[in-house]
Amino acid sequence: MQSVIVVFSQTGNTLKLAERIREGIAAEWGECELVALEKAGGIDFAEYDLVGLGCPSFYCKEPFNVTDFIEALPQLDGKNWFVFASHGCEMGPVLVSMAERLADKGVTVIGSTHVYGDAFLPFYPHPTYTTGHPLEKDLDQACEFGKTMAKNSVAIANGQKDLIAPPTLEHIPDWAQKDRVNLSREIMPKIMPRFAINQDECIQCGQCEDLCPVDGIDISADPPKIQDPCIYCFMCAKSCPECAIEADWSGMVKMAPGNYARYLVSLKAAEARGEFQFMVDPDSINFDDPMHVQQVRKKNA
C-alpha cells in the first residue's frame, strides 16, 4: 500500500503531528512518505492508496497557500485522504474547510485529527494559553490515528463505507465559523496592518525572503517588495533578527483581551470534555507585553 503525508508547518507543531501519524501508518504498511507542502506540487496523488494533508489553523481555516494547493489538484475521484491540523486556542472550521475543498476534487475524506500547539503572533502575548502544547499524550494518540487511517482506508476500499468519518462542526462556536468567511482572502488585505522594511535597520540577511512561504518578499527590489501575495503568517516580522519589519500592531493589540476572553470559553469547554489541559496559568497572561514588544526588548538587551 502506498501512502504520503503532505504538511505545511512553520513553527513545528503540525510537523510533530505529521511525524507521529506517519509512524502509525508505517507501523501498518511498512512505510509512509512525508513531504513538505512546498515540495508536493509534482506528486501524482492518483498513485497513492492514502494521502494525509495537514496544516496549522490560520484565522480558523487553512492558510491560503494550502487553499491554493488543494485548488491546484486534479480531479481525484474516490481517493482516500485524511486531514489534520495543529492550532492555538480555537481551531475553528479548519478541518471542515479542507475537507469541503477536497470533496470538490472528488476526494473521500475518511478521517481527521488535531492537536493544540503553542502560538506566536506579534500582537499577542507569549507565553499564551496553549504554550506547552502539543502534549506527548496527544501525539501518542496521533500515532494511533495513523494506524486507524491505514486500516480503515483498506476496509473502505473494500466497501465498508460506514467507516468514512469526515470532520464536523461539533464544538466549533458560531463566531469561529463566521471568521472563516469574515477573514477571507479578499478581506485580509483591507484589515491587516501593512508591513514596511526599515531600511536603516535591515542588514540584508535574506532570512525573511527564505522563510516567506509564498515568495512574497524581494529584499533586493527598490524599495523592497513585501506582502504580495501574502498568507498573513507574520513569519517575516517574527523572525527578522533586527526587528526591521515594522507594522502598526496597535489595533490588533487592543483587540487581544477581547479575543482571549472568547478563546478562554473554548478552552474551558475543551478542558471540561477532557480534550485540553492548561500548562500555563491563564491568569498569568500579560496583555501589556505583546510579542513584538518582547522581540525589540530582546534585540536591545
Question: In this structure, what are the phi and psi dihedrals at residue 54, rounded to the nearest 5 degrees?
Answer: -140, 155
3-state secondary structure of 44: coil
Q: What would the DSSP string read from start to end of 43-56?
A: --GGG-SEEEEEEE
- Determine which helix (DSSP H) or strand (DSSP E) holds 85, and give its type and residue range: strand 80-87
The single residue among 5, 32, 85, 208 that binds ligand SF4, judged by CB under 6 A, is: 208
Nearest to 25 by CA among 183, 114, 151, 190: 151
* Least gap, CB of 56 to ligand FMN (angstroms): 3
Q: In this structure, what C-alpha cell is assigned to residue 96? A: 471542515
Residues 174-203 that bind ligand SF4 (CB under 6 A): 197, 202-203
Interface mask (CB under 6 A) for ligand FMN, residues 142-161, using x and -?
--------------------
- Partnered with residue 115 across adjacent β-strands are 86
Contact 256/203 with Cβ under 8 angstroms?
Answer: no
> Cell 525572503 sits at which residue?
209
From the list ligand FMN, ligand SF4, none, partner contacted by residue 10 (C-beta under 5 to 8 A by kind):
ligand FMN
C-alpha cell read off for 113: 485529527
Task: Find how far residue 44's CA is from the centre of its chain.
Answer: 24
Stretch 216-255: interaction string toward ligand SF4, x if CB under 6 A: xx-x------xx--xxxxxxx---x-x-xx----------
Q: Segment 54-73, which members bind ligand FMN (CB under 6 A)?
A: 56-60
What, of ligand SF4, ligand FMN, none, does residue 93 touch, CB below 5 to 8 Å by kind? none
From the list ligand SF4, ligand FMN, none, pick the one residue 242 interacts with, judged by a Cβ distance below 5 to 8 Å according to partner type: ligand SF4
Q: Applying CB under 6 A, what is the total number of residues that bind ligand SF4?
A: 27
How far is the C-alpha of 291 from the C-alpha of 294, rounded, in Å?
A: 5
In angstroms, give the least distance from the CB of 224 to ligand FMN: 21
- Enumerate the β-bridge partners of residue 197: 245
Q: Is the peptide bond before 282 cis (omega within 30 degrees of 0)?
A: no
Residues 25-64 that bind ligand SF4 (CB under 6 A): none
Binder among 3, 10, 152, 295 for ligand FMN (CB under 6 A): 10
Q: Residue 207 Cβ, how far from ligand SF4 at the closest point, in Å?
A: 4
Residues that bind ligand FMN (CB under 6 A): 9-15, 56-60, 86-92, 117, 119, 121, 232-234
